[in-house]
Structure 1
Amino acid sequence: MKTFQRIKFKAIGITAIMLLFVIAGCRKELDYTPEVFVSAQSLYKDQAGAIAGVTGIYQQLQTLKKSDYQLIGVIGTDEARCAYQAQGYGSYWAGVVGIDVYDLTFNSQNADISGFWSVCYKGIANANAAVLNIPQIKNFGDASLQNRLVGEARFLRAVYYFYLVQLFGDVPMPLENTAFDNGVPRTPQATVYNQIISDLKFASTNCWAKSQLGASAAGRANMEAAKALLGKVYLTLHDYQNAKTTFEELINGNKLTLLANYADLFDGQHENNTESLFEIQYSTDNNNNTQGLQNLYGSYAGPPVPFQQFNQHTPGYGGTVITSTAFYADTVFAKPYSWAYQYDARYKASISHDRYDSNGNTMSWWADPGLPTVKKYDISSSDIDVYHSGKNLYYLRAADVFLMYAETLNELGQTQAALVPLNKIRERAFGNSSVNYALTDQVSMREIILDERARELGAEGWRWFDLKRTGTLISRVKRYDDPKRDFMKKNNSSTDPHPTQEISSKNLLYPIPLSELQNNAALGLKAQNPGY
């Protein structure tokens, strides 16, 4: 659809030589806008060039979160899905629907899958150049800063590889000293994870703490973020003892805190806050630095007048691509108490139950083909329009750490202890301890924590990875992401326009992009994941 703006990248093999961006000075926090292209040798010759080069690596993460690539990790789960209308927006958006329902378009030529792969490897290539060249700069002038910049590059490399290994399994793993003459073969997952852990350990030692960075460097990788991601990697590997040690060091040593008001996290007025460990920076100062998630997550209709004239109708306004599932909009917020959603502060901050017609009047979703929409990405009066928002997006925040810590303790058989971090999240959500969880068995606690992650972190990009990690992806999608059931229930209809949900065990891995199989001399079509 022409109204949906996105960044397109031509799929390329990882053997391409990547150029680094020279970055302009700060406006909001980090300005990712590329101004000129230079070689790595020309860029990494002094301290200023090193700062500029590392800043450029953040641009790929910004790209992964600013438009429909962000949907990878959100759709195809129990918390969000594509509206049935999206399949009629053209072949590109039919491919996005395919990621949601795992149909025939969920294949090696899917544009979102190949684009996500390509952007990750662009980030890795730029990170590799930084890791290789920064230590070689003579007369740098500040050893701590020099090590910090390498730490930032290694943190970002870990971020990109962590996405790739979870989505694709064995993946090519070029590093700063990798030769490309004969292509790069797929590296076993265990080896990729070892490299991720190594990078994050280096980053947690050499990146500065948030307090050291200060406001002028907000948005840069920091010690707390590196430790949080390291703990998440250990949890993903089911290495619970190392996860426990990492989380306890972070929670106790760095004194993690939550914002008092959950809604403040998403109002655009509390960016880079005390709860935030690492967030991706956007700004309306430059249109290239904006994100357009509201256009994907917004409502079906809105008044056809300039933005400044319908500020009162902003909530829920936007495109018709993503809706919540019935599970995320209603069921999970009603558990374990049928009345809980009325008092859970996260419900009103996360869900827009009403939509607006072309006259600006509210309409119930029961009269509309879609479900309630995700409110977290609503634009504010300071944004340009539904396509250009300057609101930052979270990658890691303290609430995620507390919930991962609870999961870790429970898996270690310490279910009683797991209640402490879990109920810390509940008390912020309800404003008191009256709905705190009491001691239960380990199996029941697993589902409790998984539900709590949905309420707390819905549509923030972790759900697919959470479900895969806990071995519940297939069962939860089949149980809760059922467009046919939702549509027919609401419309009293015997027919359903939604595509059939076709998830199976092969979908625990994404298909390797065809472009990579063709362009990487070490691969070939036989290197594809099973079932594709």
Structure 2
Amino acid sequence: MLNSKSTCLRQKITIMKNKIIIIFLLFLSASCSESFLDNAPEDSLVVDNYYNTNEQVMSAGSPLYGYPWFYFNEKFLICVGDNYSGNSTGTYSDIAQFTLFSVNQGNQFATEGWDALYNVIGTANTLLHNLDTKVSADVDEEVIEAVRGEAYFMRATAYFYLVRTWGAVPIIHDMSQYNAEADVYRNTVEDIYTFILNDYNNAVSRVPVQRADSDAGRVIQSACNAMMAKVYLTLKDYTNAKAKAELVINSGIHGLLDNYGDVFHPRNNNSRESIFALQWVANQGWGTQNVSQAYLAASPKLTNAGDGWGTFQPSIDFQNAYEAGDLRRHETIMEPGDFYPDLVTSEGGYTVPSAGMTSTIAGWRKYVVGSKDEWADVGFMSTNLNTNIMRYAEVLLIHAEAILGSSASTTDSKALESFNAVRKRAGLANKASLTFDDILQERRMELAVEGKYWYDLARMDRTKALAILSNQERGDYNDGDYNDIITRKVTPSAGDFLLPIPGSEADLNPLLLEEPVPFDFNN
């Protein structure tokens, strides 16, 4: 059985789009020089003539950090990671589907997430092909291999999100698959994870241990090890998860920033706490910027840019999950009476109104940069704030959980050291022993609005996860009254732990509805 011609045409168009994206972003950044995203050479931007110097090859890897990920970051990551998990809510129809466990095949943001992740894969595949076929003999092998490692890393990361969100999906890894004769089936979950780990191992053997300041934010070995630690944790391979996390911890490269809120300000992009983050350029054209502030800021006064819509709101359940004294609360959600001297600075700061900001009263603070008065690189639906995919605090929590493993509790000193380092910054007391529930709670509060909590619930005991989700309050406060809740509790089913394959994809390629097949690792 062959795929339809329309499917093949779509795949070929995707490849062309990826090449155009590379040229577009390189051209876009030619006039700037603040980061590796802005270091395109000034000579020919034609792909076939592009891979002639070390600088050109390095620049060819830069688009992997932003544009292909745009619609993944725009709404999908929060919809799945935080709305689906009960951290966040939203009333817009396709967002509400995540809150209500009613995501269907036509959901706009699920489809955009699928498309974006395969766009990342297509961009990585195109780059790997070009590195094999178009590079001049004048380019240093070390440079070629470092960029090749970046492509492997990005492809692995995209597949890690795909397999956890949709389960069995097609492994597209070679240009020969983008033609009219190729059948595209889904591959087994087990083989996808093997493929992911192979790609991360291919990356870690090629990328450098550290980068120059001009290349801060590009993938280094600790990013590969951190992501592998998380993959192994997901697979319950605690021995390897611990070993990979300890490679990052013992590298001496990373550490926690002193103040939690500082992690989420663009002045601290690519700080010592950042291990892998998506990189954005503000006010340079649609698809290159971070739009999160537009949807998270709950008042247009905060941004003074025509956005600040409060599209995503902290759920009542999430608000009630904080321990007393948690310093992260003020830096994550904005509640009546809270004062922020670093926002609306033209008026001396911002105090949250007594009536609240949204139907859940609170608004999100995290990833809200403010207006041009606070940060020059702010525009309508546009900031240059990085999107955290992996940071050091999460590695510490992975390390603690890997030591706990399948035990009911642990008093291991190394597990406690890693875990309590995160709590200390949050102003919370040390714990003398740890359970999985302790770690799950800490991950929820530390990593909120970073698209993590759903994937934590999905990898735990299914009966326990269903009980947690069924008891969450996903409703609203009635007219800003804390004592009057319009309750909304939703009971998911076991089938809700994977999203349906987007209908537009299944229509184009009915083979996606067939049973998954093993992947041929020898091909």
What range describes the TM-score normalised by the shorter chain of this pair?
Answer: 0.7 to 0.9
Kept in 1, the 8 Å contact 2:291–2:382? The answer is yes
Closer, same or farther: CA 49–370 of 1 in aligned 2, 3 Å: same
Give, in angstroms, the shift of residue 57 of structure 1.
Answer: 2.5
Kept in 1, the 8 Å contact 2:39–2:59? The answer is no
Kept in 2, the 8 Å contact 1:182–1:521? The answer is no
Compare 237-246 and 29-38 and name the one that shifted more. Answer: 29-38
- For 1:185, the equivalent position in structure 2 comes to 185
Closer, same or farther: CA 113–43 of 1 in aligned 2, 3 Å: farther
1:67 to 49, 74, 77: 74
Tell me which amino acid in the other structure corresponds to 1:449.
I
- For 2:520, the equivalent position in structure 1 comes to none
- For 1:313, the equivalent position in structure 2 comes to none
CA distance in 2, matches of 1:527, 1:244: 34
1:198-277 equivalences in 2 (<5 Å): 198-209=198-209, 212-277=210-275
Closer, same or farther: CA 290–206 of 1 in aligned 2, 3 Å: same
Closer, same or farther: CA 306–118 of 1 in aligned 2, 3 Å: closer
Aligned length: 476
Tell me which amino acid in the other structure corresponds to 1:199.
D
- For 1:436, the equivalent position in structure 2 comes to 430
1:293-308 equivalences in 2 (<5 Å): 293-299=292-298, 301-303=299-301, 307=304
Secondary structure of 1:394 counterpart: strand
CA distance in 2, matches of 1:368, 1:233: 36
Give, in angstroms, the shift of residue 94 of structure 1.
Answer: 0.5
Structure 1: gaps spanning 5 or more residues: 1-9, 87-92, 311-316, 335-339
Secondary structure of 1:395 counterpart: strand
Secondary structure of 1:279 counterpart: strand
Residue 354 (1) aligns with residue 361 (2)? no
Secondary structure of 1:396 counterpart: strand
Structure 2: gaps spanning 5 or more residues: 1-6, 339-346, 517-523
- For 1:419, the equivalent position in structure 2 comes to 416
2:466 to 474, 484, 492: 474
Secondary structure of 2:310 counterpart: coil
- For 1:390, the equivalent position in structure 2 comes to 384
Give, in angstroms, the shift of residue 395 of structure 1.
Answer: 1.4
Kept in 1, the 8 Å contact 2:277–2:390? The answer is yes
CA distance in 2, matches of 1:416, 1:187: 40
1:452-471 equivalences in 2 (<5 Å): 452-471=442-461
1:123 to 116, 120, 123: 120
Closer, same or farther: CA 263–326 of 1 in aligned 2, 3 Å: same
Residue 18 (1) aligns with residue 9 (2)? no
Give, in angstroms, the shift of residue 458 of structure 1.
Answer: 1.0
RMSD, aligned CA: 3.4
Give, in angstroms, the shift of residue 27 of structure 1.
Answer: 3.8
Tell me which amino acid in the other structure corresponds to 1:333.
Y
CA distance in 2, matches of 1:508, 1:386: 35
Q: Provide, for residues 131-155 of structure 1, a one-character-per-residue CA deviation record: whole Å limited to 9, x for no partner.
A: 2331343414311111100000000
Closer, same or farther: CA 362–369 of 1 in aligned 2, 3 Å: same
Per the normalisation by structure 1, the TM-score is 0.80
Tell me which amino acid in the other structure corresponds to 2:411.
Q
Give, in angstroms, the shift of residue 424 of structure 1.
Answer: 1.1
Compare 160-169 and 33-42 and name the one that shifted more. Answer: 33-42
1:97-112 equivalences in 2 (<5 Å): 97-103=96-102, 106-112=103-109
Kept in 2, the 8 Å contact 1:40–1:129? The answer is no
CA distance in 1, matches of 2:396, 2:194: 24
Q: Provide, for residues 456-515 of structure 1, a one-character-per-residue CA deviation record: whole Å limited to 9, x for no partner.
A: 11111111111112235433222224316x55994766966x6x6352211111110112
Secondary structure of 2:313 counterpart: strand
Kept in 2, the 8 Å contact 1:488–1:494? The answer is no
Give, in angstroms, the shift of residue 192 of structure 1.
Answer: 0.8
CA distance in 2, matches of 1:208, 1:367: 46
Secondary structure of 2:353 counterpart: strand
CA distance in 2, matches of 1:138, 1:367: 57
Kept in 1, the 8 Å contact 2:282–2:384? The answer is yes
CA distance in 2, matches of 1:246, 1:154: 18
- For 2:495, the equivalent position in structure 1 comes to 506
Kept in 2, the 8 Å contact 1:77–1:481? The answer is no
Closer, same or farther: CA 333–246 of 1 in aligned 2, 3 Å: same
Give, in angstroms, the shift of residue 224 of structure 1.
Answer: 1.1
Compare 451-460 and 396-405 and name the one that shifted more. Answer: 451-460
Closer, same or farther: CA 39–506 of 1 in aligned 2, 3 Å: farther
Tell me which amino acid in the other structure corresponds to 2:430.
N
CA distance in 1, matches of 2:482, 2:258: 40
Per the normalisation by structure 2, the TM-score is 0.82
Secondary structure of 2:276 counterpart: strand
CA distance in 2, matches of 1:100, 1:207: 40
- For 2:507, the equivalent position in structure 1 comes to 518
